[in-house]
Structure 1
Amino acid sequence: MKEEVISYSEARPVISLKTPTNVSVDLTLYGILGVNEKSQVLETYLWVRTRWQIEGLSWDPDECGTKKISLPREKIWVPDIVINEFMDENRAPDTYYVYVTSTGEVIDARPIHVISSCKLDIYTFPFDFQNCSYTFNSYKHSRDDVQLFFFRSAEQIFKQSLEAMTTKGEWELIDLLAEKPIQLFLEGGWDNLIVYIVLRRRATLYVVNLLIPSSLLLSLDLFSFLLPLQSVDRASFKMTLILGYTVFLLLMNDLLPVTGNNLPLINVFFSLCMALMVASLLETVIITNILCGSRDFPPLPKWLRILVLEYLAQLACMKKSCEENCDANKSESTFYKNTMTDIPKKGQVSASPVSVWEQCLEEMKKMSKDVLAIRHQVEEHFSNDNSTNEWIMFGQVIDRVLFILYTLFIVVSLTTIMVLWLHSYSLDKKS
């Protein structure tokens, strides 16, 4: 007769079915393969080891000559432990054997290529930290049949993972936490083990390729304020910078995260840089127009004169220059008025013959008409000069205020970047 092969893989290896099988789970994070912000997916490589007991199985190692043997996986019962966050098939190599010890303990070790879902927060990109979780549980067996435990502590798992990890890519392991949730022992529930993987992005690549070039282009636009306002090259220089910055963002678009729960701060930073460059160009165009056509403009409105030439000029440390120009214009106008109106009166003329006096009086009448005409022209000239000077000072104050805003933005943004960068590295040293 043909001998029948007996398989023990159909039922749990317990004497009484009321007894649950205790499964100890151990893992080692061997590699961090990548994080996909668009798909919200984490890709890692794990070594997972599970241990459980076959009740009633034992032998004498001295008599049998070995303490453990390897058996095909199909010949014994194996717990169906899965990771709930799994999003794709396991492409790791298959292992076909398990170890069985003389005490009846089964040791199953296998690699897992994990592609799991992870809620990514890229608000502080590229100085972001991600906390992803792996939830281990049995797919079919409730806690009445299978109960899970950690074989080692989270500190030991973290230490071994750092020693075994070979990948030195964009992400690095900062911490590893493990917990077994406290659950109400209701009938039909599943036992869970949760492992939290804390990752940090290496920001050096993004600081060198994104933030530093962007800050340098913004600094060039800042120093363009040192060019004369009347120079046409200032506007063309700013237009060239805007074009270069646009090309820079297009080339570096692949390095930016595509999607996420929040808009990254770095995108806000780039948008503000572009907005400031465009505002700088518009301000240059407006001020150039003011300087070239200020003689044809109406007088500066009173509210605008108070707001810009007094308050903003004082904030921009230009109050003194504005007052000096206005006082100089007023003194010159007063001088010419006094000069033009200084006509001798009749009582001031010395005694002379009547004929001579009448002749002088006629000449004085003719001259007074000419002097009045000249005075009118001079007053109109100085009035236009005052209006022109006010518009010129208006353009200079706006130019100085935007220069100050530019400087403050660059200082604050660079300081924030350096603080975040140093903070991320200080956390790395502490870990």
Structure 2
Amino acid sequence: MTALWMLALLCFGFPGSQLSDCSYYDLLKYLNLTTPSQVLQVMRPVQNWNHTTDVSMDMVMYGILDVDEKFQTVTSHVWIETQWTNEFLTWNPSDFCGIDKLTIPKSLVWIPDVDIDEDLQPLCIAGSGEVSLEDHRWRPVDLEDPDQLQTLVSLCFFSASDSGSIQEDPLLILMSGGRMLTTKRQRLTSTCQLNLFLFPFDVQRCNITFSSSSYDNGSLKLGTARSSSVSTTLSDVFMITQGAWHLKNMEVSLFDRSNGNISVSKLRYTVSLERKPMLYVINLILPLFYLLILDLASFFISASSGEKLGFKVTILLSISVLLLILNDILPSTEDTLPMIATYCVSVFTVVWLSVLEAILVAFLTQIDGGCCRRPEDLQQESVSHEEPGGVLENTEVKPGKKVLPLDDLLQVIQRAAPQEAGRPPDGRFRRMATTIDCVFCLVYFAVVVMFFLYFCIIWING
């Protein structure tokens, strides 16, 4: 019996001997991946060259680091997953003890050359006087031409992603059906045309477009495995930092774009970023509003006190400081004037007109105060006020006091009559100044109310 058992073991092997032969090396040997193969590295992995390689790309945003309004760039952290099928690297898992996936280095196989269009590569100058742009082609540049040199300088120092910030996995996952999966994380600095008209209540829509620089849409077709809603949800879940922005939505779209006679497949993520406006409301909008209210309250200050004009000038200088702060935030190349700039300029203009009105009222008030009267007129008025009852009525002649004869007194009155006839009545300019001040105050209040209603409607509906 023992001899029969030993004979069976020799014929069929010891228990577990099949498992001892189950190793990744046998699978790598079967797939010819034990040594680097230039064919697998450079050739698009299709059995028939007419077959299109479908590349699926999914992006998750997990950090919004910075939005530069002056340079029109957005810096973010993104996670990119790429999948495609290699028709040469397939196997039956049952032949290899159920192994259905394998991890191999990227350097052994073909990788789709998919780049981000908005991620500008740094411009490099060659010794032959040529430059390398984002399409990796060398183009001649005349360094003696000032216009081309200026363009060269602007491109050289244009913000681009640092290659050292790309954390790319050196390995990829290979499925039994030939499906390959690779991931990478990147600190992406992408260009974005920012619309700052509704600043700071603006929503920016920035594009991140994936495309191949070597294959047309007949050879390589881009796609995505996740929908827009799923990508947005995953980004919200994995979001680490957002700074002054909030991720509102991510829209995925597929399209083809012709480049000469070649049509290239493109995958575009449209990222909607909503600004958090509270800091700008506290630092800019509310202070300007409070200064405008103070300027309205200054109409209750008496113009004759001399403090009204100085108070208004102080408010005007405070608004100028806020304008300098705004100048450091907004780009000078903006075509349309942002609403916040219109708001600041309008407040500055209204307060400036209020200062001019205060100067006019102070001038009219001083006219009635005696700045245009002659000293002898003021002395004559003081004498007439001392005897309100008249010269001849109930006048008592005291001993030693000289009294003018009646004829001489009449001559004095006749000589003074032409001068008094050309002089405006007392208080005319003062009443004019009061009327101007009241009318301007009412108009000022109405303009301020309509002004704020207009900006509130624009900012809310925008």
Q: TM-score, normalised by structure 2?
A: 0.69
Aligned Cα root-mean-square deviation (Å) = 3.1
> Identity of counterpart residues, as a percentage?
27
1:86 and 2:119 are equivalent in the alignment: yes
Q: After superposition, give the CA deviation of every residue in 1:170-193 in whole Å (9 maximum; x if it has no partner).
A: 111112212112668996211111
Alignment partners' CA distance in 1, 2:244 and 2:458? 17
Q: Distance in 2 between matches of 1:272 and 1:181?
A: 45
In the alignment, which of 404, 427, 441 is matched to residue 403 of structure 1?
Answer: 441
CA 1:187–1:253: 2 relative to 1, 3 Å: closer
Partner residue, 1:203:
277
Q: CA deviation at 1:211?
A: 0.7
Name the residue aligned to 2:174.
100
Q: Which residue of 2 aligns with 1:336?
A: none
For the pair 1:220 / 2:294, whether they are aligned, the reply is yes
Q: Is the 8 A contact 2:57 2:224 kept in 1?
A: yes
* Aligned partner of residue 56 in structure 2, secondary structure: strand
Contact 1:206–1:255 under 8 Å retained in 2: no
Residue among 63, 88, 93 paired with 1:31 = 63
Matched, 1:6 2:37: yes
1:369-413 Cα deviation digits (max 9, x unpaired)? 966975885796577344x54433332232223322432343334
- Which residue is equivalent to 1:361? none
Residue 382 and residue 167 in structure 1: after superposition, are their counterparts in 2 closer, same or farther (change >3 A)? farther
Shift, 1:234, TM fit: 1.2
Quote how far apart the aligned CAs of 1:52 are. 0.8
The alignment status of 1:49 with 2:81, answered yes or no, reads yes
Measured in 1, the distance between the counterparts of 2:255 and 2:439 equals 58
Question: Which residue in 2 is equivalent to 1:229?
Answer: 303
Aligned to 2:234: 160
Q: Aligned partner of 1:203: which letter?
A: P
Q: Give runs of aligned pairs for residues 139-154 of structure 1, distance below 5 A.
A: 139-154=213-228
Instruction: Say which SS state the counterpart of residue 50 (structure 1) adopts.
Output: strand
Query: 1:32 corresponds to which letter in structure 2?
Result: I
Distance in 1, matches of 2:259 and 2:286, equals 56
- The equivalent residue for 2:47 is 15
Of 17-26 and 366-375, more deviation after overlay is shown by 366-375
Q: Which residue of 1 aligns with 2:107?
A: 74
Conserved? CA contact 2:59–2:78, under 8 Å: yes
Greater displacement, 159-168 / 413-422: 413-422
Contact 2:258 2:264 in 1 (8 A): no
- Structure-2 separation of matches of 1:185 and 1:256: 35
Uncovered stretches (5+) of structure 2, i.e. residues with no partner: 1-33, 121-159, 374-389, 391-404
Give the aligned partner of residue 319 of structure 1. Answer: none
CA distance in 2, matches of 1:177, 1:402: 52
| 1:214-272 deviations in Å (ceiling 9; x for gaps) | 11122112111101121111122222223333344445654445542322121222122
Residue 405 to residue 62, structure 1, CA distance change in 2 (3 Å)? farther
Query: What SS does structure 2 have at the residue aligned with 1:190?
Result: strand
1:75 Cα shift?
0.7
Q: CA deviation at 1:418?
A: 4.8
**Distance in 2 separating the partners of 1:119 and 1:148:** 25
Q: Normalized per residue, which structure has more helix? A: 1
- Secondary structure, aligned partner of 1:269: helix
Contact 2:64/2:241 (8 A) holds in 1: yes
CA distance in structure 2 between the partners assigned to 1:180 and 1:191 by the alignment: 8
With the length of structure 1 as denominator, give the TM-score of the two structures.
0.74
